Amino acid sequence: MKINGNMPGFNISAVGLSVQRKKMNLIAENIANMDTTRTQDGQPYQRKYVSVKQGAGYQATGLDMDKPTLQMTTTDSMHIASPEIKPVRISEANTGLKADIEKDQKQGEVVYNPEHPDADKDGYVHMANVNIVTEMTDMISATRSFEANITALNSSKQMAKDSLEI
């Protein structure tokens, strides 16, 4: 999700919301398939999770780390510009995050149940590697992260609104 405009705070929150939504969808899929002992490929269901990696993201150009003060770019030729401080421009190369869906390679429990249709010749059934406690913990974490992104988005929205009232 991308929100157009010159407000990077909106885009950052929108990307965070998208990632947390993807996590919640995978958690729901994992919980729904926790008792699946055979998928289309004949193996037990494997837990899926979102792997989030940081990309190039928002890059600030023209930063001089020796001078901690930054200057806003001028919009009017009548504004006074300080020659010793370079203006900072924020450019969005991409969203900054890469969220990939990966499968957990851990093996699930092996349960002795000779009457089960998916039991092997010794009567053991290979179960899915989904743990309901882990899934519920991840769900609470994703929900709280989603709420934090909503709060950040609302704060950005309020700052933009207040700046229009100046």
Amino acid at site 114: P
The tokens for 32 are: 């729904």
What pTM did the predictor assign? 0.70
pLDDT confidence band for 3 (50 / 70 / 90): low
Note the pLDDT tens digit of each residue in 78-125: 555 555 444 444 333 445 677 889 999 999 999 999 999 999 999 999
Please report the sign of the dihedral spanned by the C-alpha atoms of residue 143, residue 145, residue 149, residue 152: positive
